[in-house]
Amino acid sequence: MPRLVMKFGGTSVADIAHIQRVARHVRRETEAGYEVAVVVSAMAGTTNQLVSWTREISPLHDAREYDAVVASGEQVTAGLLAMALQAIGVDARSWLGWQIPLRTDAAHGAARIAGIETDELIARLSRGQVAVVAGFQGIGPDNRIATLGRGGSDTSAVALAAAIGAERCDIYTDVDGVYTTDPRMVPEARRLDRLSHEEMLEMASLGAKVLHVRSVEMAMVHGVRTFVRSSLVDPDAPELKGANATVGTLICDEDEIMEKKFVTGIAYSLAEAQLSLRRVADKPGVAAAVFGPLAEANINVDMIVQNVSEDGTLTDLTFTVPTADYNRARLVIEGAREAVGFHVVQGSTDVAKVSVIGVGMRSHAGVAAECFAALAAENINIRAITTSEIKISVLIDAPHASLAVRTLHSLYGLDKD
Amino acid sequence: MPRLVMKFGGTSVADIAHIQRVARHVRRETEAGYEVAVVVSAMAGTTNQLVSWTREISPLHDAREYDAVVASGEQVTAGLLAMALQAIGVDARSWLGWQIPLRTDAAHGAARIAGIETDELIARLSRGQVAVVAGFQGIGPDNRIATLGRGGSDTSAVALAAAIGAERCDIYTDVDGVYTTDPRMVPEARRLDRLSHEEMLEMASLGAKVLHVRSVEMAMVHGVRTFVRSSLVDPDAPELKGANATVGTLICDEDEIMEKKFVTGIAYSLAEAQLSLRRVADKPGVAAAVFGPLAEANINVDMIVQNVSEDGTLTDLTFTVPTADYNRARLVIEGAREAVGFHVVQGSTDVAKVSVIGVGMRSHAGVAAECFAALAAENINIRAITTSEIKISVLIDAPHASLAVRTLHSLYGLDKD
């Protein structure tokens, strides 16, 4: 029988009524003929409470103890969901990370999955028993609980799907899929039926919060088909059953997507700030002198733009950092003034990054030019540009963000079916 | 170095401030030269919340899932206390039941301890690391979490003390020891310095809620010296340090008690109801016909009194059941009327059981006679009497309970030092 992994986040298991609804989602799939493993997060709010207790005791705490405390949240949900399944006649049992075992490396608090021993779990799946797996947790080489860090339950689900050879990994969330852009900003935004892993990776990196970057990376590497869908619908609706499920977004290999569009989505972020160093010496070692100290200060740099200078002597260097780190970044840069030798630092927190994403642009040269022309026609000034194979990002003034997103969304035909 | 087990219940670890105070209690003992293992309960309220969730899902649930859910409470406390100890410079780590491992039988929800593998734990204790053990939990033969049922953390602590050969097992609670009787009823009640295991067993069975019966039984069997003391005092008070600790009650083997009194305490219970079967045939099989159906209905019978009948034909049979089961017990008895052949059932929920406890009464014949005389002098009617080697229990009308307890407390000189 085909296997399915179903993952439910904290808001989907927020209380007993929600957990009972999740049980009905699971029963629907067992009745559709799947062997099912379910991965659950902690009930909404639980993890925050546990984390705040650990902080109250000490800001600097033993990550192994932190893991023992925080992993308890998923343990509770797994037990409760197994009970809820049994109560509606579905054979089920809970699995904690150490019971499977799901082995991790020794990096407590942000562990990486080293391997999953699936023999017993698969034997029970094939006897028709649903496996309810506590997400976010495994067991480290020290025989102690290790948690996977942010996005951990998504990562657990995708890794489990790869390990048991699941046909699909369904990620249930409070939205019904991935959209061409943020529907709160652009009412015409449409749900995408399919999206490649590479595109989802860019969308996730650029602010679409449906899936964590790490789990998308893992899905891409292991070729796991991931289906983003809503947990808020009636679980017993016949159109949701099994392989027929159509309401949602399938994230899959590019090969599975027949009709490729040039552009699949527009992402944006208001959480970055711009820093520009004016009249920097255009010589080897300058970039290292700038970005070395920032890395040491644990400040993530995103866009980096440097032009070839006209006369080979002085150039401008622009980059973005998280808005929260802006003031700290300025101080770090001022401290490196002598080593870098720039004239002046300019910056702004009032900027937006807007990105056009699509695997199709690889083979279509005009996408970027169309983008710049359309923004110019709306009188939107572009501060900086970066591109990758499947993405164009522009930095603009924040007040223009909404107009820019709507303009580009319409430009590439994303408003239409 | 001598070893010490310290146990803290739910109210002693109710929030982070309480957990930090517990950490200071522990540090005091490590500084006094002990190797320390701490056993903790869940934070007050947590277990009730978890249990109520399991009941909300289904009144009939899988005990293995119940255990996975409920055991998470002690897991959280163990991790937090280990952190709090580290934060004040005490090396510590948490131990979950499956990590030690503390092995149990397969009776999930009310498991019994089968054995504790202490090699690694002792090796770490001897390197000066405090072991913070999650109470109430172990691992069953099925490799799943098993909880020990009511009083579980006390039992964990005593079993651990036996397994690691601890000099003493300190039970921290919200009272400072075991009293000659309930101080709320008798202001003259005094804290006992020492008490034998047998006496504590009777006290615990009879309503003194300081220690659970099961843990006292285990302490008696394994000869574990148990010290009941307060967690609410200043942890750094020098008079509490190490072997010098005097404020509390030591429960130990009779041999350790030099000056034995005839009577050590007066216990009482208002939670029992009386049932009397009048004119029962005095023939073999009658007791079985009465108590068999009650046992099947899961009703605990406590006192049982049956006299030899005068003429060998008809007798009266009196027994007590928990007040909460009184109506159900009457129905069960009515159902057995034909098999038992009694004339009429009488009963009352307005009764009290008062008990005089002391190992000294073994060798002193007059204790019972003095008891009955003193109650008669106060015009208190005795409904029924049962005795054991170290206990006399009388069933009286509930309104006389307070007077009876005060009279007996004074009679045996328990008011005086």
pLDDT of residue A208: 59
Q: Give yes or no for residue B237 having a pLDDT over 90.
A: no
Confidence of residue B330 (pLDDT cuts 50, 70, 90): very high
Among A206-210, B162-166, B311-315, the least confident range: A206-210
Cα torsion B69, B70, B74, B77: sign: positive
Q: Which CA distances in Å does B90 have to B40, B95, B128, B237, B341?
A: 17, 16, 9, 18, 68
Confidence of residue A22 (pLDDT cuts 50, 70, 90): very high
pLDDT of residue B389: 82
Q: Give yes or no for residue B56 having a pLDDT over 70.
A: yes
CATH code for the domain of B377: 3.30.2130.10
Nearest to A69 among B61, B65, B79 (CB): B79
B265 with B251, same domain: the answer is no
B246 with B318, same domain: the answer is no
Q: Give yes or no for residue A207 having a pLDDT over 60.
A: no
Q: Give yes or no for residue B278 having a pLDDT over 70.
A: yes
* Shortest CA gap B24–chain A (Å): 13
Q: Give yes or no for residue B374 having a pLDDT over 70.
A: yes
Candidates A40, A49, A56, partner chain B, best to mutate (most B CBs within 10 A): A56
Q: If you average pLDDT over residues B295-304, what whole number do you get?
A: 86
Among B2-6, B317-321, B358-362, the least confident range: B358-362
Confidence of residue B99 (pLDDT cuts 50, 70, 90): very high
pLDDT of residue A417: 66
Q: If you average pLDDT over residues A215-238, what whole number do you get?
A: 90
pLDDT of residue A243: 64
Q: Do A76 and B69 touch (CB under 8 A)?
A: yes
pLDDT of residue B202: 85
- Model confidence over A27-50: pLDDT tens digits? 999 999 999 999 999 999 999 999
Candidates A18, A48, A53, A55, partner chain B, best to mutate (most B CBs within 10 A): A53
Contacts of B231 (CB under 8 A, 6+ apart): B8, B9, B11, B12, B21, B22, B25, B172, B173, B174
Candidates A49, A56, A75, A83, partner chain B, best to mutate (most B CBs within 10 A): A83
- Model confidence over A71-86: pLDDT tens digits? 999 999 999 999 999 9
Q: Give yes or no for residue B13 having a pLDDT over 90.
A: yes
Tell me the percentage of chain A whose pLDDT exceeds 70.
96
Size of interface A-B (CB pairs under 8 A): 113
Which of A68, A73, A66 minimizes the C-alpha distance to A14? A73
Nearest to A78 among B19, B50, B68 (CB): B68
Confidence of residue A297 (pLDDT cuts 50, 70, 90): confident
pLDDT of residue A239: 73
Chain A residues inside the 8 Å CB shell of B57: 16, 19-20, 80, 83-84, 87
A236 with A270, same domain: the answer is no
* Shortest CA gap A48–chain B (Å): 13
Question: What average pLDDT does chain A have?
Answer: 90
Q: Do A75 and B79 touch (CB under 8 A)?
A: no
Nearest to A68 among B68, B75, B145 (CB): B75
Nearest CA in chain A to B70: A76
Q: Do A68 and B61 touch (CB under 8 A)?
A: no
Among A363-367, B146-150, B399-403, the least confident range: A363-367
Q: Do B20 and A57 touch (CB under 8 A)?
A: yes
Q: Do B83 and A64 touch (CB under 8 A)?
A: no
pLDDT of residue B206: 62
CB atoms within 10 A of CB A239: 10
A270 with A247, same domain: the answer is no
Q: Max Cα separation, chain A?
A: 77
Q: If you average pLDDT over residues B384-398, what whole number do you get?
A: 89
pLDDT of residue A386: 86
Q: If you average pLDDT over residues B134-140, what whole number do you get?
A: 97
Q: Give yes or no for residue B244 having a pLDDT over 70.
A: no
B241 with B188, same domain: the answer is yes
Q: Is the link from the previous residue into B101 a cis peptide, with omega within 30 of 0?
A: yes
Domain boundary among the residues B193, B221, B255 is at B255
CATH code for the domain of B190: 3.40.1160.10
A272 with A400, same domain: the answer is yes
Q: Give yes or no for residue B125 having a pLDDT over 80.
A: yes
Nearest CA in chain A to B53: A16
- A280 touches A316 (CB < 8 A): yes
A288 with A192, same domain: the answer is no
pLDDT of residue B175: 86
Candidates A76, A77, A129, partner chain B, best to mutate (most B CBs within 10 A): A76
Q: What 3-state class would DSSP assign to A352?
A: strand
Q: What angle do CA B17, B132, B239 make, to 5 degrees?
A: 65
Among A126-135, A188-197, B311-320, the least confident range: B311-320
pLDDT of residue B403: 95
Q: Do B80 and A62 touch (CB under 8 A)?
A: no
Q: Do A58 and B143 touch (CB under 8 A)?
A: no
Q: Do B72 and A68 touch (CB under 8 A)?
A: no
Nearest CA in chain B to A143: B99
pLDDT of residue A35: 98
Q: If you average pLDDT over residues B15-43, what whole number do you get?
A: 96
Q: If you average pLDDT over residues B24-44, what whole number do you get?
A: 96
Q: What angle do CA A401, A404, A405 make, to 5 degrees?
A: 85
Chain B residues inside the 8 Å CB shell of A76: 50, 53, 69, 72
- B229 touches B251 (CB < 8 A): no
Among A314-328, B68-82, B89-103, the least confident range: A314-328
* Shortest CA gap B326–chain A (Å): 31
A183 with A285, same domain: the answer is no
Chain A residues inside the 8 Å CB shell of B50: 76
Chain B residues inside the 8 Å CB shell of A141: none
B219 with B131, same domain: the answer is yes
Burial of B97 (0-12, 13-18, 19+ CB in 10 A): buried
B239 with B295, same domain: the answer is no
Q: If you average pLDDT over residues A378-394, what whole number do you get?
A: 88
CA dihedral A33, A36, A41, A43 (to 10 degrees): 60
Chain B residues inside the 8 Å CB shell of A143: 99
Which residues of B touch chain A, with CB atoms under 8 Å apart? 16, 19-20, 50, 53-54, 56-58, 61-62, 64-69, 71-73, 75-76, 78-80, 82-84, 86-87, 93-94, 96, 98-99, 143-145
Chain B residues inside the 8 Å CB shell of A86: 58, 61-62, 65
Nearest to A80 among B54, B76, B82 (CB): B54
- The alpha carbon of residue A222 and the mean position of all alpha carbons in its chain are separated, in whole angstroms, by 16
Confidence of residue B123 (pLDDT cuts 50, 70, 90): very high
Domain boundary among the residues A233, A254, A275 is at A254
Q: Give yes or no for residue A242 having a pLDDT over 70.
A: no
Domain boundary among the residues B255, B278, B308 is at B255
Nearest to A75 among B20, B61, B72 (CB): B72
| Six token digits for residue A313 | 């002597």
Among A206-215, A243-252, B397-406, the least confident range: A206-215
* Shortest CA gap A65–chain B (Å): 5
Q: Give yes or no for residue A274 having a pLDDT over 80.
A: yes
B266 with B225, same domain: the answer is no
Q: Domain total for chain A? A: 2
Q: Give yes or no for residue B152 having a pLDDT over 60.
A: yes
Q: Do A80 and B87 touch (CB under 8 A)?
A: no
* Full-model pTM: 0.84
Q: Do A19 and B78 touch (CB under 8 A)?
A: no
Q: Which CA distances in Å does B292 have to A109, B295, B302, B306, B331?
A: 56, 5, 14, 16, 14
Q: If you average pLDDT over residues B71-84, what whole number do you get?
A: 98
Q: Do A65 and B86 touch (CB under 8 A)?
A: yes
Q: Do A83 and B66 touch (CB under 8 A)?
A: yes
- Model confidence over B154-203: pLDDT tens digits? 999 999 999 999 999 999 988 889 999 988 889 999 999 999 999 998 88
Nearest to B68 among A50, A64, A94 (CB): A94
Alpha-carbon gap, residue A245 to A258, rounded angstroms: 19
Among A29-38, A47-56, A290-299, A323-332, the least confident range: A290-299
Check residues B302 and A205 and name the one with the higher pLDDT: B302
* Shortest CA gap A49–chain B (Å): 11
pLDDT of residue B369: 85
Q: If you average pLDDT over residues A8-35, what whole number do you get?
A: 95
* Residue A129 belongs to domain spanning: 3-254
Alpha-carbon gap, residue B290 to B276, rounded angstroms: 11
Q: Give yes or no for residue A244 having a pLDDT over 70.
A: no
B246 with B297, same domain: the answer is no
Alpha-carbon gap, residue B214 to B201, rounded angstroms: 9
